[in-house]
Amino acid sequence: MTTLFTNARLIDPEGGTDAPGQLLVRNGRIAAVDAASDPAALLAAQGLRAEDVTVQDCGGKCLAPGIVDIGVKVCEPGERHKESYKTAGLAAAAGGVTTIVTRPDTAPAIDSPETLEFVTRRAQADTPVNVLPMAALTKGREGREMTEIGFLMDAGAVAFSDCDHVVTDTKVFQRALAYARSCGALVIAHPQEPVLSRGAAATSGKFAALYGLPAVSPMAERMGLDRDIALLEMTGAKYHADQITTARALPALERAKANGLDITAGTSIHHLTLNELDVAGYRSFFKVKPPLRAEDDRLAVVEAVRTGLIDIISSMHTPQDEESKRLPFEEAAAGAVALETLLPAALRLYHAELVDLPTLFRAMALNPARRLGLDSGRLAVDAPADLVLFDADVPFVLDRFKLRSKSQNTPYDGQRMQGRVEATFVAGEAVYRRD
Amino acid sequence: MSFEHRHLLGIEPLKPHEITAILDLADEYVALNRRPEKHSDVLAGLTQINMFFENSTRTQASFELAGKRLGADVMNMAMQASSIKKGETLIDTAMTLNAMHPDLLVVRHPHSGAVDLLAQKVNCAVLNAGDGKHEHPTQALLDALTIRRSKGRLHRLNIAICGDIAHSRVARSNLILLGKMENRIRLIGPPTLVPGQFAEFGAEIYDDMREGLKDVDVVMMLRLQKERMDGGFIPSEREYYHRYGLDAEKLALAKPDAIVMHPGPMNRGVEIDGTLADDINRSVIQEQVEMGVAVRMAAMDLLARNLRAERQEKAG
């Protein structure tokens, strides 16, 4: 199967380019990337006949590497009514996400090879996009005993994380990091001082004070990161901070990178595009973890994405049913669905002229793929043909009831967005086309 | 009368002239309440339900009396004792009550924002009787009425709010109301109980009580809410009393005619000296209780007028 994407605006995060061109896909991989616009010449150079090639006219729209999303929660096992592999897969495909890296914070947690195998089977049966599972770092995500990191890697775990549970016992975390290093495993942690942030529903500041919400200082994130960095110096482990959301944590991250530690950092699309004031009248769809920050923090984090200090943007897709959100703000569950809104929301940063498209796809495709040792996330010959075709400019109003996720807890409901996915391809095959 | 709200959820949405409208009407109800025959039937035929998800004696009694004096059918529901224990959610409880066609719903809840949430789900007027650490609007209104009657005005006063600001919805509502009416507000207490962010609302923050009380017209004391403490906010009650308890010596730094207020119930010997609290020349604590009934009558009267107008419009 050979497909030629013509008349495209190619977004190449590796080269940092955003330019017209065409792209040839053969046998699920990228066979040629060409800045010229003459299909016949390209086919001739590749020794192909026109009748053997399917042509996809991109109509000048953007063609970029498919998004690699680290930290997607699919609620299997345990809460399939919130999100299944099937619905998550449909949502991902519709959102231009070609690889989802799933979180182990299910009920029960994915902390044994047996559970991981179950999840992998479910994913293969039902999901049109690539699914790579993460496993818990400690059993039951309880922070007491490490999981079978070696066996779990053999079963396909690509990273180890207790998700939003901080491993409070520093000795346990140190040992887990040291052991993970010996296996070559990537550990993903949630940098947060756990005692300071206990019970918090908002970031401390004018807003939380006025609304009388239990709040955590943004400093708790830096304190958590500082501890983790010290442990990396001790253990030399391979580490990724799931969400850096505050300005004060950035200098510590920069120093750790300069000192040569094996550290990367992510942030969530919500912290890049929303701030604490969006919660307004206790709107629980805006309750995420860590809580939304002040506008100064948001801008600092956007800038860190632009410079590359923050490596990765994730959806932090967290489905919650209506019942767990229709509660007083303090009691409501945290999290938001975001697989389908990740790209349009990220394009807000592009339209605000804060970040260009190659930089966005560096953070959403190239860097996460590299961090996981995948060869996707690039528009390069021999890379997997995981691609997203999107119109960066078309405006629309988001209607949450049209989302494909089983849960529709998005903070962007009713908001104006700009940019929409036209089609998504995994290994050269279309897994989504807009009707 | 210009008061255009369906609910009374907080002071924050109110405009200064609306606050004045409530207080003016409350003044009339103070007069009514002092007559031997203290009855009106402006709420006749209406049903008022008091839902308290948190213990309350004074506020609940005040709302109940206010409703009865205006002729409403009043029902009290102690919510800890009932459905909450059976696992019913707040929304379910609200929907159940809504089906009984109440006209006025008075709600207290331990979580900030819970009363707003409930108000979105019912067809009647909702009065916030205190939600978590957020607002307690009728308390701020009764405090404002007490100040206005005692000082003859409700603007350009120096007002000190002292004590556990962090855990206090009374402090938040008062800060907003008194700020809207253009007063200078000082917040006094240890830094563990006075969040610095309140400075951004224009309040001045003092951790030295003596300094903070200098030349103030009004001293509002707050209850040290022991039940709200995670523990460790103050070293001990006696040290707290020494540094932040109001006694005659500290009060001497305020203006000679400064009044002393307290929302009750008081911890005598913790935040306020017992003799001072009973001093009828300085303390207006009993007046506050009296104003409470009048202000609640005024608020329910105004909301009921809007409710009737809305229903008439729908019917007509």
A29-34 and A17-26 strand pairing: antiparallel
A277 interfaces chain B, CB cutoff of 8 Å: no
| Selected residue of A198, A206, A207, A211 to mutate for chain B interface (largest B Cβ count, 10 A) | A211
Measure B42 CA to nearest chain A CA, in Å. 32
Asked if B135's CB is within 8 angstroms of A212's CB, the reply is yes
CA distances to B41, B100, B149, B287, B300 from B7, in Å: 21, 18, 26, 26, 9
pTM of the shown model: 0.92
Q: Are A328 and B118 in contact (CB under 8 A)?
A: no
pLDDT tens, position by position, B290-302: 999 999 999 999 9
pLDDT tens, A345-388?
999 999 999 999 999 999 999 999 999 999 999 999 999 999 99
The single residue listed with the structure tokens 């796809």 is A361
Inter-chain touch A209–B195, beta carbons under 8 Å: yes
CA-to-CA distance for B157 and A303, rounded, in angstroms? Answer: 46
The Cα of B276 is separated from the nearest Cα of chain A by a number of Å equal to 31
Can you tell me whether residue A147 is helix, strand or coil? coil
For B10, which residue in chain A has the nearest alpha carbon?
Answer: A211
pLDDT at position A219, please? Answer: 97
Q: What is the residue type of A394?
A: V
What pLDDT shows up at residue A293?
97
CB contact under 8 A, B134 and A329: no
Compute the distance between CA of residue B233 and CA of residue B226 in angstroms, rounded to an integer.
Answer: 10
Tell me if the bond preceding A77 is cis, omega within 30° of 0.
yes
Residue identified by tokens 């001497």 is: B252
Q: What are phi and psi of B74, to 5 degrees?
A: -110, 135
Query: Quick one: pLDDT band at residue A95, thresholds 50, 70, 90?
Result: very high
**Under a CB-based contact definition with an 8 Å cutoff, are residues B245 and B274 in contact?**
no
Mean pLDDT of the residues in chain A = 96
Nearest CB among B90, B134, B200 relative to A212 is that of: B134
* Backbone region of residue A280 per phi and psi (left: phi > 0; alpha: psi in -120 to 50; beta: other values): left
pLDDT in tens, chain B (316 residues): 578 999 999 999 999 999 999 999 999 999 999 999 999 999 999 999 999 998 888 999 999 999 999 999 999 987 775 555 566 788 888 888 899 999 999 999 999 999 999 999 899 999 999 999 999 999 999 999 999 999 999 999 999 999 999 999 999 999 999 999 999 999 999 999 998 888 888 899 999 999 999 999 999 999 987 765 556 888 888 889 999 999 999 999 999 999 999 998 899 988 999 999 999 999 999 999 999 999 999 999 999 999 999 999 988 7
Helix or strand or coil: residue A34? strand
Tally of CB atoms within 10 A around B228: 15
Per-residue model confidence (pLDDT) at position B248: 95
pLDDT tens track for A240-298: 999 999 999 999 999 999 999 999 999 999 999 999 999 988 999 999 999 999 999 99
**Per-residue buried b or exposed e for A179-198, using 16+ beta carbons within 10 Å of the residue's own CB:** bbbeeebbbbbbbbbeeebe
Q: What is the pLDDT of residue B228?
A: 53
Q: Is A206 on the interface with B (CB under 8 A)?
A: yes
- Locate A225 and state its tokens: 């990161």
Interface pTM, i.e. ipTM: 0.86
Q: What is the DSSP letter of A336?
A: B
Pairing of strands A17-26, A2-12: antiparallel
Contact A301, A247 (CB under 8 A): yes
Cross-chain residue pair B112–A206, CB shorter than 8 Å: no
**Distance (Å, rounded) from C-alpha A282 to C-alpha A328?**
8
- The per-residue pLDDT for A435 is 84
Calculate Rg over the CA atoms of chain A.
21
CA B85/CA A244 separation, integer angstroms? 39
A322 lies within 8 A of chain B by CB:
no
Residue B238 is predicted with a pLDDT of 86
The closest of B22, B66, B30 to B305, measured between CA atoms, is B22
